[in-house]
């Protein structure tokens, strides 16, 4: 029976001072690796602040930079040790909803301030 291997991986974060390095089992799933990276990043008090919700992030390899890794796949199956962590873009509907909500509340406050009963 083969012993489980360990990998020293390096994960870069856009805007950060340098990559995060840590050891993982080669059979660890990508989602767990992202979660561990976020915890280490926060523990080291790095900037920019990312948050801790692993489902808000994608992990990429330099080889297939246009495709995010499958969060259910094993990290060792990709054959690389360097990765890039990127925040998922917000949905356009979420942005539109927030903008319309902010605009409506601003408009209502402005109207209520200017309309005075005589």
Residue at 64 is within a domain = yes
Tens-digit pLDDT profile for residues 11-53: 999 888 899 999 999 999 999 999 999 999 999 998 888 888 8
Q: What pLDDT shows up at residue 65?
A: 65
Q: What pLDDT shows up at residue 21?
A: 97
Q: What pLDDT shows up at residue 1?
A: 53
Q: What pLDDT shows up at residue 66?
A: 76
Local structure of residue 71 (DSSP, 8 states): T
Q: What pLDDT shows up at residue 51?
A: 84
**Hey, CA dihedral for 13, 44, 7, 1, is it positive or negative?**
negative
42: CATH: 3.10.20.90
Residue at 105 is within a domain = no
Q: What percent of the chain has pLDDT over 90?
A: 52
Domain that holds residue 43: 6-90
- Give the count of domains, the chain: 1
Distance CA 118, CA 108 (A): 20
Tell me: pLDDT of 98 over 90. no
């Amino acid at each position: 029976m083969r012993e489980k291997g360990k990998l020293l991986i390096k994960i870069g974060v856009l805007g950060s001072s340098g990559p995060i390095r840590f050891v993982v089992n080669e059979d660890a799933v990508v989602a767990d690796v992202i979660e561990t990276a976020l915890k280490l990043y926060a523990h080291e008090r790095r900037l920019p602040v990312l948050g801790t919700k692993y489902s808000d992030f994608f992990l990429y390899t330099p080889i297939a930079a246009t495709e995010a890794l499958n969060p259910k796949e094993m990290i060792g199956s990709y054959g690389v040790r360097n990765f890039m962590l990127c925040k998922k873009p917000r949905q356009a509907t979420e942005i539109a909803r927030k903008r319309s909500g902010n605009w409506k509340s601003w408009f209502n406050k402005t109207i209520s301030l200017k309309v005075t009963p005589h």
